[in-house]
Amino acid sequence: MSGQRRFERRFEGPSDLHLHSLRSDGTEPPETVVRAAHRYGLRTIALTDHDTTAGWAEAAEATTSLGMTLLPGMELSAKHGWRSVHLLAYLFDPDNPALRAEMERVRTDRMGRAERIVRNISRDYDLSWADVVAQTSDGATVGRPHIADALVARGLAVDRSAAFEGILHPREGYYEGHYAPDPLTAVRLIVAAGGVPVVAHPTPAGRGLMMPVPYLEELIDAGLAGFELDHRENTPAGVAVLRGIVERRNLIVTGSSDYHGLGKPNLPGENTTSDEMVERIIARGTGVAPVFP
């Protein structure tokens, strides 16, 4: 890299491009998430709450005051058949009507779905919808983590992870799915909004196998920018396959923590994204600018 380019660069690593706040299922306000990231030595972050941009303004205020760079982002829920697929989206226009409508549809259906899960659970356990509302901040994207917190508050699980392994596990029979677009539709929506789509934890253990390679090729043809290869839930065998695709198609690779505050053991900066890859994301995003300090 030339000295000139280095001089022009306006962000600083280390970078962690996948963090959640209580605008979705993290346990901390955006400002606290940013402070935690700063404490762990990060200098560039993306706030990627599920299906919402509600935390962007607060996060931007906090990163600016700490001299950090923010890439506004989101983790959009998608579904490929029975597989739950999460698409990280960076630097998209938050006012793009088609994308906004889809995000709203997902959030609304998540709410009804959470109520259905709670109704199922309440047949066997002392849990009410009010318990879940009490664990959810206003306007947040509702997910099973909030039901998990309600189960913990009721003494029906010791922590979130135990709730997911117990009552919330599909095998227990209370599970309900929610609406989500297929990944191809999701990629097209993000790209049309000027955003950069990256598949989050693309080869997760215990959450089903990764999407079939021919389908991944279709996503790439539609504008999928890359894969989050460094994430604690990825399996080595899957990552090896994806590395081959990344090389062949010259894709972006990211590494991130998927921090959820106290809701998961994941810590800010446990995986990071290289400066080169952050630059490629910034160069490719046209919907909104990064918030530089």
231 interface partner picked from Fe ion, Zn ion, ligand AMP, none, CB below 5 to 8 A per type? none
* Residues of this chain, 69-108, that bind Zn ion according to CB under 5 A: 75
- φ/ψ of 46, rounded to 5, equals -125, 135
* Residues of this chain, 191-250, that bind Fe ion according to CB under 5 A: 200
Identity of the residue, 15 or 266, whose beta carbon is nearer to ligand AMP in the bound complex: 266
Identity of the residue, 142 or 281, whose beta carbon is nearer to ligand AMP in the bound complex: 142
**CA neighbours closer than 13 Å in the CB half-sphere of residue 193:** 27
Closest CA to 127 of 100, 112, 147, 101: 147
User: What is the nearest approach in angstroms of Fe ion to the Cβ of residue 52?
Assistant: 12
* Distance, CA of 198 to CA of 189 (rounded, Å): 13
Residue from 86, 107, 113, 178 touching Fe ion (CB under 5 A): that is: 86
| Location of structure tokens 């396959």 | 241
Verify binding: residue 144, ligand AMP, rule CB under 6 A: yes
Find the part of the chain contacting ligand AMP (CB under 6 A) among 9-17, 129-137, 141-149, 214-222.
141-149
Burial class (CB within 10 angstroms; exposed 0-12, middle 13-18, buried 19+) of 102 = buried
Binding mask of the shown chain, residues 149 to 168, with x at each position contacting ligand AMP by CB under 6 A = -----------xx--x----
Contacts of 249 (CB under 8 A, 6+ apart): 217, 220
Verify binding: residue 258, Zn ion, rule CB under 5 A: yes
| Location of structure tokens 């989500």 | 180
Number of chain positions touching Zn ion (CB under 5 A): 2
Find the part of the chain contacting Zn ion (CB under 5 A) among 35-43, 63-71, 221-229, 250-258.
250-258
Identity of the residue, 69 or 266, whose beta carbon is nearer to ligand AMP in the bound complex: 266
Alpha carbon of 142 to those of 25, 85, 194, 264: distances in Å? Answer: 7, 17, 26, 16
Give residues in contact with Zn ion (CB under 5 A): 75, 258
Give residues in contact with Fe ion (CB under 5 A): 25, 86, 200
